[in-house]
Amino acid sequence: MSLRRLLATVLLAGAMACAWADEAPRSDTRPVAPLREPVSAAPIEDPDFGVRTSQFGLERRVEMYQWQRDGSGGYQQVWKPALVDSSAFEDGHANPRSFPLENRIWWARDVSIDGKPVELSVIKAVGQWKEFRPGFTRLPANLAATFQPEGDGLGSALNPLDPNNGDIRIRWRALHLPPLAGKVQLRGGKWQLVASAQPEDPVSATPPTSPTAPAEEKLHKRGEVRLIGKLILGVLLLLGVWLVGRYRRRRRV
């Protein structure tokens, strides 16, 4: 083997060792924190009332004023979010036979952070419901004839302080997202909930570990791999020097 070819072989082996040392740690996936706030493709709307929000969830809460038993053999009227069956009630305490409107929830579509989609499970897990007062500028005419502004929502009672049996009141809530740093990480091209943000069973929960422990472990492994690569490179260089010296001694002989 010529001297030039020998040196080329040694250098190629050293380059391969360095490349292996740099590439090996990349097999570990590193958590990525969000840089910007979450956004949705379009506002959410209650199509029946034209109520809109730019948040990430919209809830319509409907209550009807109805009769119910008071626990002492009598009856009282209360606001209830579901129909109270009055078929066994005494005369004069009959409730409507159906609920005129349903409670509903709409979720924002195509929610993303930094251009990557956010799973709906994340929105449901960390979102916070807050009541708000819509403007009712898009309220259809037929509903405007039935409902009037009442508090933060709408009501069908002519006198909100003295509602009648079967009157309806409606409120809306919007789902707000808190800062998501530390709550989500990018996995498989989607933002998903980190393990520490998952609800835990207080009985079986294990003591929390330091959030920096995984990063420190990865850095330690990376340092070990690079050290091995450098050692291999050093051995190959020493071998090359020894081979070159031997080659020159043989040429002199």
Please give the residue range of the domain that contains residue 20.
3-31+213-252
Domain count for the chain:
2
List the one residue out of 101, 7, 110, 19 whose CA is nearest residue 56: 110
pLDDT value of residue 196: 67
Residue 53 located in a structural domain: yes
Per-residue pLDDT of the chain (253 residues; tens, 9 = 90+): 565 665 566 556 666 655 655 554 444 445 667 778 999 999 999 999 999 999 999 999 999 999 999 988 899 999 999 999 999 999 999 999 999 999 999 999 999 999 999 999 999 999 999 999 999 999 999 999 999 999 999 999 999 999 999 999 999 999 999 999 889 999 889 999 987 655 544 433 333 443 444 444 555 556 665 667 667 767 776 776 667 676 667 766 5
Residues 189 and 239 in one domain: no
Residues 226 and 164 in one domain: no
Residues 21 and 59 in one domain: no
Residues 11 and 80 in one domain: no
Residues 230 and 109 in one domain: no
Residues 13 and 53 in one domain: no
pLDDT value of residue 200: 45
**Bridge partners (DSSP) listed for residue 131:** 173
Domain finish residue from 193, 221, 237: 193
Six token digits for residue 249:
């001694």
Does the pTM exceed 0.75?
Answer: no
Residues 160 and 98 in one domain: yes
Residue 68 located in a structural domain: yes
Residue 205 located in a structural domain: no
Residues 106 and 230 in one domain: no
Residue 38 located in a structural domain: no
Residues 232 and 154 in one domain: no
Residues 164 and 226 in one domain: no
Residues 88 and 57 in one domain: yes
Residue 198 located in a structural domain: no
Residues 221 and 182 in one domain: no
